[in-house]
Structure 1
């Protein structure tokens, strides 16, 4: 029997996934959102004396104004990454931006230290919802050399954000724009975040990756309660590592049970067994130092 080539018919080439057409516009919008988060972690520092005078806040309350943001960020960061993988990163990103906008407005109109501390905690949670979606979406939208370029832009932005936040906080407080004093450092987020919300709804693609396993709320709570929880993504201390292990335990149990079946030469029900009972571990790829887990960490796929 003659083949398709013999009959002069050229087989169709396999379909190649097309890149997101507006990926750079979406990347700029998401990086601006991340910039809001990174700046807001430091912009309040130079406004603390003005906040103390304006709200008659004690030194402890001023410390909580800064710490509440970090605590909210740490408590929601890991869970938000899993939720983005499960329900869609665009949906979680827009929800985080909307919450951040409202929390910024609440901070700008706060009338006592307790209100300001509460809205700062909500700001931190909203920022934690946004950030994993930004990183996960950038990694999904871009590939090859473009991925390196977009993460270089993100890295430069993140590197200067803290310094810009401190400088911007001092400038806005000293200029006393509209006579708002320290409230300007929070009010300035509102128009920028609203613009990000509108453009994000238009340009950010709806990307998701099925999360493997249930959300581990216990590990997130330990992470939030541990000292310096906001530094967990950067390595953290022993309690942060313990929380990370707790977050990863369900996946490790499933991986061990799957390996036992494959090592015995049995494939999971409904799939073909590898020839000769050879071990095939999904998610492993050969790296310079041997087999390494591809994307299998304690953090969700969005990190």
Structure 2
């Protein structure tokens, strides 16, 4: 703020509605500074929203509330006379930043999602402690990995380096990909609990599918199965490794292209965890199964 008649060069006056003095808008690079400052703030708020807040009981987090708050923050700087800026432009920028931050990076439907009917098949899954908590640490059942919750500690805690999880898909599907979610290493206490080498198996129930699989891999290679097999016949869909050093903590892996092309369908898949990244226990946060539903 400057008294009337003492305007700095290169500035234009506007009437301050809250006083008899004038506020001035600098036409310099301050506007660019505000925009640069707004975007990191938006992402910081989204980061806290996703990883450090309690779950919402009323559905998805209210992005609109955060957008309004950030819009008011932008307007405060404009009203303070720090530079020329359009509140509408800044609101739009912040809203786009929030939407992009909340957008799922995988971009594929999760056909094993619990909310869509996916469930764990206990008989072919590693036994787990049927308790609600161990001291102050909550213990979640395996089906927690079929939820969208990715808060720290919201995982299936396995007291070993290897295990397997059988997932019943609500609709038969032609599998194409599998995604493993883990919390970012920056916010986890023990990144060694992340699973490392894994295999995805498909349970072959239909005789026609078995014949197709044998024709692809040969009968000599079709005898392998996960540790808990229940005398069923399985197809090895994918053999992959989760990388804690990768840029993203959400990683997608492709099913064997030969099986994708064969259009062999499955109603149950088994994720086998072979080892982890060095801890004595393993924490599995989320498993997603992608593919094309069988239309009958």
TM-score by length of 1: 0.28
Higher normalized contact order (CA 8 Å, seq sep 6+, divided by chain length): 1
Tell me which structure has the larger Cα radius of gyration: 2
Write 1 or 2 for the structure with the bigger share of strand: 2
